[in-house]
Chain A
Amino acid sequence: MSSKFPLFPEQASTLAADVDLLYFFLIAVSLFFTVLIAALVIIFAVKYRRRSENDVGADIHGSLALELLWSVIPLGIALVMFAWGAKVYLDIARPPDNAMEIFVVGKQWMWKIQHMEGRREINQLHVPIGKPVKLTITSEDVIHSFYVPAFRVKKDAVPGRYTELWFEATKPGSYHLFCAEYCGTEHSKMIGQVIAMAPAAYEEWLTGSDIAPVALSVPPAGAAAGATSGAAGAAPEGMAKAGEGVFLQKGCLACHMAAPGSLGPNLAGVFGKERKFVDGSTKVADEAYLRESILTPLKHVVEGFQPVMPTYQGQISEQELMQLIQYIKSLGQPAEGEAVNAPAQDDATTAGEES
């Protein structure tokens, strides 16, 4: 990033070296075949150039042995490339269990980011080094794509669903963050930085105040949105806490009570559990399922409950949704389970549509 004319991107994540090694392997194979073909074409062209007007080529029809040879060898090489590429892809696709979570919402034309502890930022993502970070990504409008070249990772931000991406930064620094999926006028301005910091510095940063709570209406001026380490205001509200506010404000509590006979199911401990629906099918309650249950609640009605929940499509922002989901997830944690909810009930009664 310092050089004026770099030819190779910086490696700043644990995955980067693996991707680059695969890249070098493919370059080596490509170089070999390109040079081979070019050399043969040039050598034949010179050696067998037409010397007299009426020369004709030798009467050669083909060779089964050669055809097999140059089918099987490329096939073998291709399979190696496939297997190697698949291995790297699976590593990229599967976040480690201990990854810390950060939430990303793309919108025309900015990246809105919220940390678990509540701190928010725009077009900047602060992360600690040496710790796996998992991003849960969505979009408020069109498809965007979250791309950090120095980490060799990219994932589309798709409206209406969650995607995830993970990385572990290896050295402190500031790295390009690009939107890689064309999204309209200011697509090339939907950029920013990922700032990797030593863990202690990150912890300290987390307690600082947001860039500005109303920053959502600020024009997407990538670099200009600085002002990060002014550790002024009060520590931000955690996402789960903010989600509790949304839960109360949207009136979810009216139906999702802890008491038996409540219209909707008790939400304590729901996250990560298998849910059984009125049509007999089942599904594990992950983030995508919780999201679906809030936006299109009648899609999967939990066994034992009536299809009475109204949709919240269009009435809740992506950011509020993520907070709400964090709140519901936090209800699943053993210590809080008891405090917020009625005594544990068995499956038949806890089952129900979410929200």
Chain B
Amino acid sequence: MEAAAAGTNYLNNGYGVTSWLLTKDHKRIAILYLISITVMFLLGSLFAVGIRVELLTPQGDFVGADTYNKLFTMHGVVMVFFFLIPSIPAVLGNFLVPMMIGARDLAFPRINLASWYIYVFGAAFSMYAMLAGGVDTGWTFYTPYSSASSNTNVIPMALGIFITGFSSILTGLNFIVTIHTMRAPGLTWFRLPLFIWAHYATSLIMILGTPVIAITILLVALERGLGIGIFDPALGGDPILFQHLFWFYSHPAVYIMILPAMGVTSEVIACFSRKRIFGYGFVAISSLAIAIFGFLVWGHHMFVSGQSVYAALVFSVLSFSVAIPSAVKVFNWTATLYKGSISFEAPMLYAMGFIGLFTIGGLTGLFLSSLGLDVHVHDTYFVVAHFHYIMVGGAIMGYQGGLHFWWPKMFGKMYPEGPARIAAALVFIGFNLTFFPQFVVGYLGMPRRYHAYPDEFQVLNVLSTAGASILALGYLLPAFYLLWSLKYGKDAGPNPWRATGLEWQTASPPPTENFESTPFVDEDAYEYGAREAHVV
């Protein structure tokens, strides 16, 4: 192991451009994804800045209405399709799935590289759509507005999303095959780290759900381009059909974002409590339960669309069913802390923040599943607040926590702990200040996607914008110290956190082949008590 650390690793094994652009190493592909999604995150954040500045005042005075509509559309499209969905799976998952199961690479390394190219190709289409004037349909592309009314670049944007979907499908496929076939000897299903269970469940959604959004968004483009009547009632189509198809993917897509973050949280909490995850089996299976139930609840986005009362009742009760596995996870993480040996490095702060914010995000989801209440808050800022608690408070907190946790593994260097803790605190405080007031303004009745709004909503919007500027600091800070650490950070060594898990048993950064010899697993995940004897 010492020899490997001193010798070649995946980072110094070739410096040429082609050694990166034609790499089949899952770890290098993870780095390619890391760079690409960071660019997209920056872009999506800039759009968010535009939105929050506009909403400082009730009059639409910072940008025009059309510009504002494009800002929130592109914020949503970029963040959802080009940042959140690939984030943890394509970066951390790509890097860690083979390492955690003791494999050399993913099952299909070439397909893995292809998925990155497909992602870049799709992103290029959407970049073109944005540079050529943008899109103003909202990330939801509701018909017939998107297919018949909007005069913006819907078709290139739709094609960008269509193309990128294949990258998601291929990544999911690769993970499933890898997890099934390439586990190290002795690594049975119920010895797998919960990160792997979460990625397995996520991959199921990716391969089953993504084809539906691909077809749907293509149909929008076809209706728009060729006048084929699918969704536009003027052409004999049904606009509500679009909503069914769209949410059939896009609700489960929320679980593509949150399940991997739950996986990260499980790893981090176990490590910094130095304790096995309480109720491991329940936490593992609840990921699958969320993935499966998640496919049955799409109609809760349509309670005021005029769908039948009976359909609404069924979708409501099924939506509540997702609450159970989610609650099980939160209780188990909390119980894991009990009698642990807890320390508070930055990844742990993110994980604890995740529990809090996901709890609020999940509970406010119950408000939206409650039929009579949803009628009032549907399409208001209450919904905006709710899903940001899940997607930002949950998914991005998880991503940030995971990035800090595995940064030493990925680059062999420690990030500076002080600034990292400050960043985690800024994110938590800034996030709550940004989005909590939106619950209040939503219940007051402020609709989403409003460029201008009545005066009485201003105070809450000013609070929200103030919070967003704190949040922005919390996101910018890591960009500096993480880059700084690449050159000046302390050497991490193979296992700086003294964590269990196969990825920590090899050098940091790992050698191209991951392990010098195939590891053998003879214990459950998170055996912190047993492991203490042979800490590296």
Contact = CB atoms under 8 A, between A and B. Distances in A.
B274 to A, nearest CB: 5
B363 A33 contact: yes
B450 interface: yes
A8 B376 CA distance: 13
A33 B445 contact: no
A184 B136 CA distance: 7
A29 interface: yes
A150 B233 CA distance: 32
Interface in A300-323: 313-314
B341 interface: yes
B282 A67 contact: yes
Interface stretch (B117-125, B351-359, B409-417): B351-359
B278 interface: yes
A34 B359 contact: yes
Nearest to B341: A55
B369 interface: yes
Task: Determine chain B's interface SS by DSSP, over half rule.
Answer: helix
A163 B187 CA distance: 56
A71 interface: yes
Contact of B444 (A8, A30, A75): A8
A45 interface: yes
B459 interface: yes
A136 to B, nearest CB: 12
Contacts of B306: 155-156, 158, 161, 163
Residue among A67, A85, A88, A90 having the largest count of chain B Cβ atoms under 10 Å:
A85
A56 B447 contact: no
A34 B360 contact: yes
B280 A30 contact: no
Interface string B126-143: 000000000010101010
Interface string A1-40: 1011111110000000011001100100110011001101
Interface stretch (A113-121, A140-148, A326-334): A140-148
B473 interface: no
Nearest to A30: B363
B372 A84 contact: yes
A4 B455 contact: yes
Interface in A172-194: 176, 178-189, 191
B342 A49 contact: yes
Contacts of A62: 278-282, 332
B98 to A, nearest CB: 28
Contacts of A34: 356, 359-360, 363
A54 B532 CA distance: 8
Contacts of A187: 65, 69, 449-451
Contacts of A51: 341
A185 B65 contact: yes
B370 A81 contact: yes
Contact of B305 (A41, A82, A156): A156
A45 B338 CA distance: 8
Interface in A49-104: 49-51, 54-63, 66-67, 70-71, 74-75, 78-79, 81-82, 84-93
B279 A63 contact: yes
Contacts of A257: none
A163 to B, nearest CB: 4
B342 A143 contact: no
Residue among A34, A147, A186 having the largest count of chain B Cβ atoms under 10 Å:
A147
Contacts of B375: 19, 89, 92, 152-154
Task: Determine chain A's interface SS by DSSP, over half rule.
Answer: mixed
Contact of B379 (A59, A74, A147, A314): A147
Contacts of B140: 182
B327 A30 contact: no
Contact of A22 (B321, B332, B373, B379): B373
Contacts of B53: none
Nearest to B277: A62
Interface stretch (B102-110, B219-227, B310-318, B400-408): B310-318
B196 to A, nearest CB: 19
B343 interface: yes
Contacts of A191: 454
Interface string B294-317: 000000000111100100110011
Contacts of A186: 65
A48 B338 contact: yes
A238 B150 CA distance: 36
A26 B373 contact: yes
B372 A87 contact: yes
A236 interface: no
B450 A188 contact: yes
B304 A152 contact: no
Nearest to A92: B375
A79 B234 CA distance: 41
Contacts of A75: 324
A66 B359 CA distance: 19
Contacts of A19: 372-373, 375-376
B10 interface: no
Contacts of B459: 4-5
B331 interface: yes
B337 to A, nearest CB: 4
Given A60-B276, A182-B142, A185-B69, A147 B370 contact: no
A186 B380 CA distance: 17
A208 interface: no
A41 B352 contact: yes
Given A44-B334, A158-B306, 15 more contacts: A8-B443, A44-B338, A44-B342, A58-B340, A61-B276, A85-B316, A90-B309, A108-B149, A160-B234, A179-B447, A182-B138, A182-B145, A184-B149, A187-B450, A188-B450
13 contacts: A4-B456, A38-B356, A58-B275, A61-B279, A66-B335, A70-B331, A82-B320, A90-B309, A149-B444, A158-B239, A178-B445, A184-B145, A184-B149
Interface of B: 60, 65-66, 69, 136, 138, 140, 142, 144-145, 148-150, 233-234, 238-240, 273-276, 278-282, 303-306, 309, 312-313, 316-317, 320-321, 323-324, 327-328, 330-332, 334-335, 337-344, 352, 355-356, 359-360, 363-364, 366-367, 369-376, 378-380, 440, 443-445, 447-456, 459, 528-529, 532
The 9 A-B residue pairs with the shortest CB-CB distance in the complex, in nearest-first order:
A88-B372, A149-B445, A57-B275, A160-B233, A85-B370, A89-B371, A44-B337, A62-B279, A55-B341
Interface of A: 1, 3-9, 18-19, 22-23, 26, 29-30, 33-34, 37-38, 40-41, 44-45, 48-51, 54-63, 66-67, 70-71, 74-75, 78-79, 81-82, 84-93, 108, 141-143, 145, 147, 149-150, 152-156, 158-161, 163, 176, 178-189, 191, 313-314
